[in-house]
Amino acid sequence: MDDAAAGTGSGAAVPRHVAIIMDGNGRWAQRRGLPRIAGHRKGIEAARSVVKAAGALGIEVLTLYAFSSENWNRPASEIADLMNLLRRFIRKELEALAREGIRIRVIGDYHAFESDVVALIDSAIARTADNEKATLVVALNYGSQFEITDAVRRIAEDVRNGRLGVDDISNETIENRLSTQGLPPLDLLIRTSGEKRLSNFLLWQSAYAELLFTDTLWPDFGEGDLNLAVQDFARRDRRYGGL
Ligand code: IPE
Ligand code: IPE
Ligand code: MG
């Protein structure tokens, strides 16, 4: 029996594309009597170590949900704190990430952020554009329903202009207009902090992703947790509707 091919053998089946809903920063801080920003700070450290661990495991693409299109519903002071942490993270970590061979890509409408943050993000994308070792996708002001709506709108434009026939619209037509275009299919989606929902993240892309929910709060999530998640993934039997 070919266990490795079935993805059930030991050491087999490293997911090519892992996405994480990094949740629980606020509760981590609250439990320690600290302000929420302390949780976000610690959460950034967790993200940094998980990026390293993903590289060591040979994961090709790691997609991190950092700011959702619904997170604008938070108090302005928390949004400002998150933006400051994003600024600091790029300034502090960009060179190291670039040297590690990581290509940074962003999904979501980050152009809605303040102009200096947009410029920092653009510089991170440009600085790492030629890297090929692994890809770090950061979801910033990302919402999956908008992503799909936007794809549909552009398809409608193409039909109206005669560039596309209605009968030619396929799954690929949509996929090619999503912000994840060109990335390998999502294999494993992890959410921390015990919540069991997708919160508008990668809805289309999760069609056949394996889902893993853990009670661990994001600031406590580390290399060991990612290793366990990948081991769990390797034991799963992905049938894709077959037998
Ligand atoms: C996730 O942690 C980080 C972001 C959404 C930016 P939360 O801030 O949602 O933490 P909880 O869910 O309140 O604990
Ligand atoms: C999802 O977490 C978004 C990110 C992790 C960036 P939220 O904490 O915003 O999700 P809900 O509000 O609990 O669904
Ligand atoms: Mg949350």
Q: In this predicted model, what pLDDT tens digit does every residue of 7-66 receive, in sequence order? A: 444 445 999 999 999 999 999 999 999 999 999 999 999 999 999 999 999 999 999 999
The model's pTM is 0.95
The mean pLDDT value for 185-199 works out to 98
The mean pLDDT value for 153-172 works out to 98
Q: Per-residue pLDDT for 6 more than 90?
A: no
HEC per residue, the chain: CCHHHHCCCCCCCCCCEEEEECCCHHHHHHHCCCCHHHHHHHHHHHHHHHHHHHHHHCCCEEEEEEEECCHHHCCHHHHHHHHHHHHHHHHHHHHHHHHCCEEEEEECCHHHCCHHHHHHHHHHHHHCCCCCCEEEEEEEEECHHHHHHHHHHHHHHHHHCCCCCHHHCCHHHHHCCCCCCCCCCCCEEEECCCCCCCCCCCCCCCCCCEEEECCCCHHHCCHHHHHHHHHHHHHCCCCCCCC
Catalytic residue among 2, 23, 122, 168: 23
Please state the atom number of ligand 2 nearest to the C-alpha of residue 195: 13
Look up 71 and say whether it is catalytic: yes
The pLDDT score that the predictor gives to residue 70 is 98
What structural domains and CATH numbers belong to the chain? 11-234 (3.40.1180.10)
Ligand 3 centroid to Cα of residue 223, in Å, is 21
pLDDT bin (cut points 50, 70, 90) of residue 235 is: very high
Number of the ligand closest to the Cα of 140: 2
The pLDDT score that the predictor gives to residue 10 is 43
Q: In this predicted model, what pLDDT tens digit does every residue of 207-228 receive, in sequence order? A: 999 999 999 999 999 999 999 9
Ligand 1 centroid to Cα of residue 25, in Å, is 5
Q: Per-residue pLDDT for 128 more than 90?
A: yes
